[in-house]
């Protein structure tokens, strides 16, 4: 029997509706910041992520594990396990693999298999610098999400993203238009636009209509929730996956770390829902 998987956008829309949340929690496990009770455990990475997922799930629309935090310490098996746990325990929440891949041809196909077949992510983040053929293997998975870097939250993003192209618009706007007009045939694409640049969020939203935006940069990076929501929401008040990682994950390093993460997630969830209300 063939099991038909839900399309990423359909699942995301349902998650927004059911959870009432546009908060996404990033899973960036850094063992040096783990609570003391976990530092001597062999399965600390998995137990930490599982604890965060369980504590924050009531307040989120999804989770975004950052692959580098796992692969840098040889914890790919733990990443597989936490992805499986999220899919099993919280199947209504979207799972975005934050990988920022960007290669071509057969290599891109292998990265697509990694994201969608190994980790069974609903969506993956991609770097568009090498053009359409670096994204095409992911688009072949017509039910999976392709989230393209557009205007990133880091200060150095301006070095390239603000360069003007032939028609005079900045490169990040060219990327937004290209994804919206040419790459989004299956309507499963989204864009990354950082909360640290609300003016650019508004410009991208105006250009791409109701396309979902993954918005990192609140919390530890200092992005303003009020400005983010005002700039990024659709006409229906949705359309955003507003990510927070460190401010929630490491709200406490003591024995109350789960409760502190839940409280930080709840406060952020409330702030997003109350923004500009």
Return the pLDDT at 196.
87
What residues are labeled active site?
100
Tokens representing residue 176 in the block: 């937004």
Are 196 and 156 in contact by the 8 Å Cβ rule? The answer is no
Please state, in angstroms and as integers, the Cα–Cα distance from residue 62 to each residue in 109, 240, 242, 246, following that order.
Answer: 25, 11, 10, 16
Q: Express each pLDDT in 169-181 by its tens digit.
A: 999 999 999 999 9
Residues 6+ apart with CB under 8 A from 270: none
Within 98-252, where are the H helices?
105-113, 132-139, 158-161, 171-178, 198-208, 225-232, 246-249
Q: Express each pLDDT in 27-48 by its tens digit.
A: 999 999 999 999 889 899 999 9
Closest CA to 225 of 266, 187, 269: 269
What is the percent of the chain with per-residue pLDDT over 90, rounded to a whole number? 87
Residue 1 has pLDDT above 70, yes or no: no
Are 26 and 245 in contact by the 8 Å Cβ rule? The answer is yes
Tokens representing residue 137 in the block: 């293997």
All structural domains of the chain with their residue ranges: 8-274
Length of the chain: 277
Strand-pairing partners, residue 23, are: 242
Q: Express each pLDDT in 141-199 by its tens digit.
A: 999 999 999 999 888 988 999 899 988 999 999 999 999 999 999 999 999 999 988 99
What's domain 8-274's superfamily in CATH?
Aldolase class I (3.20.20.70)
Q: Express each pLDDT in 68-89 by its tens digit.
A: 999 999 999 999 999 999 999 9
Closest CA to 111 of 95, 93, 134: 134
pLDDT, average across residues 225-230: 94
- For residue 177, what is the enclosing H or E element? helix 171-178
Tokens representing residue 200 in the block: 């650019």
Task: Give the Cα separation of 224 and 245 in Å (integer).
Answer: 15
Task: Give the Cα separation of 127 and 171 in Å (integer).
Answer: 13
Q: Express each pLDDT in 87-122 by its tens digit.
A: 999 999 999 999 999 999 899 999 999 999 999 999
């Amino acid at each position: 029997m063939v099991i038909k998987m839900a399309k990423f956008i359909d699942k995301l829309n349902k998650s927004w509706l059911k959870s009432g949340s546009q908060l996404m929690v990033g899973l960036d496990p850094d063992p040096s910041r783990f609570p003391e009770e976990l530092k001597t455990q062999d399965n600390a990475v998995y137990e930490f992520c599982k604890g965060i997922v369980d504590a924050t799930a009531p307040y989120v629309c999804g989770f975004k594990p950052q692959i580098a935090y796992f692969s840098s310490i040889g914890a790919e098996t733990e990443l597989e396990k936490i992805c499986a746990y999220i899919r099993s325990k919280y199947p209504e929440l979207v799972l975005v693999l934050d990988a920022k891949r960007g290669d071509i041809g057969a290599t891109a196909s292998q990265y697509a298999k990694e994201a969608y077949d190994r980790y069974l992510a609903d969506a993956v983040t991609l770097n568009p610098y090498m053009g359409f053929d670096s994204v095409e293997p992911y688009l072949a998975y017509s039910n999976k999400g392709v989230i393209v870097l557009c205007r990133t939250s880091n200060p150095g993003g301006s070095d390239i993203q603000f360069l003007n192209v032939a028609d005079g618009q900045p490169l990040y706007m060219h990327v937004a238009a290209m994804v919206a007009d040419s790459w989004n045939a299956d309507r499963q694409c989204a864009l990354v636009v950082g909360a640290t640049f609300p003016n650019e969020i508004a410009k991208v939203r105006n250009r791409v209509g109701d396309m979902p935006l993954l918005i990192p940069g609140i919390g530890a990076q200092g992005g303003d929730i009020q400005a983010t929501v005002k700039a990024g929401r659709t006409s229906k008040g949705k359309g955003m996956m507003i990510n927070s990682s460190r401010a929630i994950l490491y709200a406490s390093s003591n024995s109350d770390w789960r409760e502190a993460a839940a409280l930080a997630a709840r406060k952020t969830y409330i702030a997003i829902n109350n923004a500009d209300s």
